[in-house]
Structure 1
Amino acid sequence: MIRRVLLISCIFSACASHSKAQYQDSDNKYSMSLDSVLRLVEQRYHVTIKYNQEQVAGLTVPYAEWRFRDSAAKTLANVLAPLDMKVNRLSPTRFKLKDYEYFRWSIADGWKELDRIAAQYHDAKSFDLRRDSLRSELYKALQLSPLPAKPNSKPILTPLRIYKGYSVQNIAIEILPGLYINGSIYRPLSIKGKIPVMLSPDGHWDLQRYRPDCQIRCATLARMGIMAYSYDLFAWGESLLQFKSADHQKSLSQTIQTLGAIRILDYVCGLKEVDTSRVGISGGSGGGSHTALMAALDQRIKLSAPVVSISSYFYGGCPCESGMPIFQCGGGTDYVELAAMAAPHPQLIVSDGSDWTAQMPEHDFPYLQKIYSYYEQQQNVENVHLANEFHDYGISKRLALYHFVAKFWHLNLKTIETNGKIDESQVTIEKPNQMYVFGDHGQLLPKDAVMGFDNLVKVFTSAAQRAKLNQFK
């Protein structure tokens, strides 16, 4: 009796095993759960793969073991390709599972693509033709061709705050009906004649434009004799009064940020004290990508300084940098070519050794030098590469900006020096609420302000449609 029970048990066990194994045949595409495949890879190649269960839940790999090759790296590439996933190699035997990153290429692929792009022109005339065509396509890709009408409202300005050598005033500009771009203007206390202006878009760092390093940079530029205009990204900073932070991850954020910068340029270029021949822009990280894009799009910008951002193998990891199809323009472009579109205007590229700008001096910067050489203006493009530094807009990056701007805008650095060295200690760091346009709790936000992303889409779509109708009148 005991033997009979054991036999029956073995039969059921074998059937259960067969049931589990039945997926490993052609009828079921030899499929296995991704979790099982990853554990098998670890065992077979003696590696470790870092991932959590949320990443693999419910995912299966068709023809799983048929995808195995002679190394863990090749096998993982084969296994993960149909799932739009990849791994980052942390060490020779350690990997980390990630979703497929369309915006991050291998260095070799990025360089090869830039070489393909560069082969389309060989002198100033052919590059000018490429630039003109690209610029037109970029506006269309951003859904800003034609531009929506500019609201007739005046900017909202807060009272001036006076500090040592400069003043600060908060500002909100209505860029679409009920949609505001918020920022702070830093001005030199003493203005004689026309002064230059520097747009300072925020980057993807904590505390947004309120953080000390952003205030220090803008205030120091003001003490040099420059009007510095610091402003928020979309659904970032004070823009969160109207939108959720998750809205920054929507593709339209790139369009709204671009339109906001255009309206800021409209405003500053209309000020009687501004020298429109000396209009610049400098931001870091996501603000650096925005810097390159704006310098490519708007010919009123005469100087640019993208910081820790530009690379031929990184297209921006945020929808505000790559959410709209700008990189499909002209048969394919990248941020390095967009930066080249600023030629021959002065341009400073700041790179570091810890992010996607680490190889800037090796391949991308020589390309930029070549483009500037078409105009016999190689001296107008510079690269400050800080191999031992990190992804920030720290003191070394700011010093590079001050020196570059002073050189090309003929400004006296002695106005910000103490004992022959640049001194940022004269800057007063404000509390975030001092930099708000609409009050500590948003109580001053206009009643007709657009609230929520869905309503923004309606407002933008309506404005874009009216712009298209009006262009034919």
Structure 2
Amino acid sequence: MTGRVCRYLAILFIVYLSYLNNGFAQTQNTDNLYKKPLVDVLKEIQTRFKVQIKYSEPQVKDKWVNYAEWRFRSDVDETLTNVLMPLDMKVNKEKPGVYKLKEYEYYRWEVQDGWAYLDTLATKYHDKASWEKRKSEIKPELYQALMLSPLPAKPNSKPIITAKRVFDGYSVENIALEILPGVWINGSLYKPLNVKGKIPVVLSPDGHWEKQRYRPDCQIRCATIARMGAMAFSYDLFAWGESMLQFKYEDHRRSLAQTVQALGGIRILDYFSSLKETDTSRIGISGGSGAGSHSILMTAMDDRIKLSAPVVAMSSYFYGGCPCESGMPIHQCGGGTDNVELAAMAAPRPQLLVSDGGDWTAHTPQHDFPYLQKMYSYYGVQDKVENVHLPNEKHDFGINKRIALYDFLIKNFKLNGAAVKDKTGKYDESKVTIEKENAMYVFGDKGEKLPKNAVMGFENLEKLFPLSTTK
């Protein structure tokens, strides 16, 4: 092919592209719904309003905006809402003139919207009797929403327990419980040494933090609780920690994760309630972040839990940013509910809410906590619900949050605070030994001890839930 022919074909191609562009412009009418690519609309918004919109190519790929030009208004925020809402997308305003494109966050509301909805829920009851009726409506529906009604048959297997490691005032042993055929929930049990009589238990699910339950602050918390005289069971969320021997990390972001976690909590309660050494009148639960949401749900579902302490979790305007917290329709129970009303189901059992100024718990003292005080007042025990608010802190389970938990456990479970305090009365966590991660494994350094009947892969887990909505 000669150079002259190539140039001729190139010119034809350019003319063809020009024709397509002109044709596209000419077809901006109702017949094609005034359709434009989202990326072009965002560029036009940036030019017209002189703002910056951050986005990635995958976010805008193959997305179109119907009646694009008709969605523009004189205000940039209103324009962005009009353009993005039909696509289930939104923007976060990082600073004046700078926006970041995000998927629509169904679980995150405006503060005032969350408060207004909680106020609407509160009109459904006005005393203990009407609230108990409301609870009786919600509770069975929670099990149904999680596909746990009826509960799956419990495997007839013994727990897998590793060798015990003994430290200063406490011991640690790793335990795996089979919660479904071939599905285990793993954790580490911290136990006090030289304790007489029945021992309280504090379930300690792990939240969405790096290094899971192997983190130093998690080990410190559980070991300190054990040194005060209680058992603390630190366990993995689904597809988190050692559970990842059976499932992938992305499986944690599937709705069924919430069901498996709730079932795991029930099986853990079954196990510890069956032990002769357990004081069943003193079983508590305390987790942070996503595990705080899990703690609220488990307390609402199971009366065997006598104390709860969700940390940096509860909010009327945030339903949990992970499917393991809101993936199943638990918030549609009772005609609609939220995490604060679910937390109220703990009443009259002691409950501690730890909040901070750096996340969705920043406004807890203003509205959500007064609501809970009112709910507890129906039972005449308003003092049984407490809020420790740390306005200058962020989303973690740091020392001040742990101290709040220790104080609450000492007060309500009569633990021995003197065992973990120095001569000045301050908590001393220095006697805790931080173990290496592999010391906390149940199934060996490389998973070589995982039982042969282990369910491998999410698709095989789904087969255990025939009605699973994830299909």
| Residue in 2 that maps onto 1:317 | 321
Q: For 1:104-159, what per-residue CA distance to the aligned partner results, in whole angstroms no more than 9, with x for missing partners?
A: 11112111111111110011111111111100100010011111111111111111
SS in 1 for 2:202: strand
Aligned counterpart in structure 2 of residue 159 of structure 1, from 160, 163, 168: 163
Shift of 1:70: 2.3
Q: Is the aligned partner of 1:384 residue 2:392?
A: no
C-alpha RMSD of the superposition: 1.8
- Structure 1 residues 418 and 33: CA distance shift in structure 2, 3 A: same
Match of 1:33 among 22, 25, 37: 37
Which structure 1 segments of 5+ residues have no match? Answer: 1-7, 464-473
| 1:417 counterpart residue number | 421
How does the TM-score come out when normalised to structure 1? 0.94
Question: How many Å apart are 1:16 and its aligned residue?
Answer: 5.8
**Alpha-carbon distance in 1 for matches of 2:36, 2:321:** 31
1:430 aligns with 2:418: no
Q: Summarize deviations over 1:144-194 as a string: whole Å, max 9, x none.
A: 111111111111111110000000000001111111110010000011111
Mapped partners of 2:447, 2:465: distance in 1: 23
Question: What residue number does 1:401 align with?
Answer: 405
What percent of counterpart residues are identical?
Answer: 65
How much has 1:232 moved relative to structure 2? 0.5
Aligned-partner SS, 2:275: coil
- Letter of the 1:426 counterpart: K
Q: How far is 1:461 from its partner?
A: 3.5
SS at match of 2:190: strand
The residue correspondences of 1:84-95 to structure 2 (distance < 5 A) are 84-95=88-99
8 Å CA contact 2:230, 2:415 repeated in 1: no
1:459 to 454, 464, 469: 464
Of residues 369, 375, 381 in structure 1, which corresponds to 2:373?
A: 369
Q: 2:264 aligns with which of 251, 260, 266?
A: 260
CA deviation after TM superposition for structure 1 residue 23, in Å: 3.5
Q: What is the TM-score of this pair, normalised by structure 2?
A: 0.94
Q: Note if 1:241 corresponds to 2:245.
A: yes
Q: Following the alignment from structure 2 to structure 1, what is the Cα–Cα distance between the partners of residues 96 and 374?
A: 37
Deviation by residue 1:32-66 (Cα, 9 ceiling, x = unmatched)? 21111111111222221111222111211111111
Q: Match of 2:306, as an amino acid? A: K
TM alignment of 1:342-361, pairs within 5 A: 342-361=346-365
CA deviations on 1:342-383 (whole Å, 9 max, x unpaired) are 001110001111111111111111111110111111101111
Alignment-mate amino acid for residue 67 of structure 1 = R
Check the 8 A contact 1:350/1:384 in 2, yes or no. yes
Given that 2:255 and 2:323 are in contact with CA atoms closer than 8 Å, whether structure 1 keeps it comes out as yes
Do 2:201 and 2:232's aligned partners in 1 also have CA atoms closer than 8 Å? Answer: yes
Q: Deviations over 1:381-408 (max 9, x none)?
A: 1111111111111111100000011011
CA distance in 2, matches of 1:395, 1:289: 20
- In the alignment, what sits opposite 1:448? 453
Q: Give the match for residue 334 of structure 2.
A: 330
Counterpart secondary structure, 1:459: coil
How many residues align structurally? 456
* Contact residue 29 and residue 62 of structure 1 kept, 8 A: yes
Residue pair 2:237, 2:261 contacting (<8 A) in 1 also: yes
Structure 1 runs, 4 residues or longer, greater than 4 Å off = 10-17
Displacement after TM superposition at 1:462 (Å): 9.7
Matches within 5 A, 1:99-178: 99-178=103-182
2:24 corresponds to: 20
User: What is aligned with 2:7?
Assistant: none
Distance 2:222 2:18 in 1: 73
- Does residue 54 of structure 2 align to residue 66 of structure 1? no
Residue matched to 1:251: 255
> Are the structure 2 counterparts of residues 460 and 30 from structure 1 closer, same or farther at C-alpha, using a change threshold of 3 Å?
closer
Distance of aligned partners of 1:127 and 1:274 in 2 relative to their CA distance in 1, 3 Å threshold = same
Asked whether the equivalents of residues 176 and 460 of structure 1 are also in contact (C-alpha less than 8 Å), the reply is no
State how far apart, in whole Å, the 2-side matches of 1:276 and 1:424 are.
Answer: 27
- Residue type matched to 1:252 in 2? L
Q: 1: CA distance between counterparts of 2:365 and 2:52?
A: 34
**Cα 1:13–1:51, aligned 2, differ >3 Å: closer, same or farther?**
closer
Query: Alpha-carbon deviations, 1:304-360, whole Å to 9, x = none?
Result: 000111111111111111111111111101111111100011100011111111111
Structure 2 residue matching 1:167: 3-state secondary structure: strand
Distance 1:412 1:387 in 2: 29
Q: For 2:410 and 2:389, locate their aligned partners in 1 and report how far apart those are by CA, in whole Å.
A: 19
Equivalent pair of 1:23/1:29 in contact (CA under 8 Å)? no
Structure 2 counterpart of 1:286: 290
Distance 1:323 1:16 in 2: 44
Contact 1:86–1:99 under 8 Å retained in 2: yes
